[in-house]
Amino acid sequence: MFMIHLDFTGIELKLRASEGTAQVYDPVRRIWVNLTPEEHVRQHIIYLLLARHYPASLMAVEKKIIFGRLTKRFDIVVYNRNHVPWMLIECKAPEVAITENTLHQLLAYQKNLQCKYWVLTNGHQTFCANAHSVENMGWLDALPTYNS
């Protein structure tokens, strides 16, 4: 796998305290959510995507996906302008190592969604692939520009 560098410099999350709990504003879902370590990573990715002109209206955050009788939630999916899943992003808390197991979790979602690109990150380590099919997968050295 080829690790890419994401620069979160200058990204300022909207934060507040509610009943003693830190919360962050999610500009895609348009709600305040509790600021867990994984949510911190997820929101930095969202704010970065928005800064790179990915359209918020074509992003989905923490939506259900069904695997047989199991229901899971993906972190972020970016759709192309035809509303076809284009990029799948799996976020982990910073203390969660990016391993083969975390990659397999992403690949399970990918099997259902069939995105052109996927990203796996814990905020410290980020991997991105052009991966419409596992057989033709290629690791990228940067996030793709949104122009679909």
pLDDT in tens, 47-94: 999 999 999 999 999 999 887 888 889 999 999 999 999 999 999 999
Q: Give the pLDDT of residue 70.
A: 86
- How far apart (Å, rounded) are the C-alpha atoms in residues 21 and 8? 24
Would the pLDDT of 141 be above 80? yes
141, 126 contact by CB (below 8 A): no
Q: Give pLDDT, residue 54.
A: 98
Give the mean pLDDT of 140-144. 94
Q: In order of start, what are the domains of the chain with their CATH numbers?
A: 3-139 (3.90.1570.30)
| Residue 5, pLDDT above cutoff 80 | yes
Residue 148: its pLDDT value, please?
61
134 pLDDT more than 70: no
pLDDT at 147: 83
Q: Looking at residue 136, what is its pLDDT? A: 74
What is the model's pLDDT at position 15?
97
The number of helix segments (H) and strand segments (E) in the chain equals: 2, 12
H/E element holding 91?
A: strand 85-91
Place of tokens 């939630």: 73
| Span 86-130, pLDDT tens digits | 999 999 999 999 999 999 999 889 988 999 999 999 999 999 999
Q: In this predicted model, which residue has the larger pLDDT, 2 or 15?
A: 15
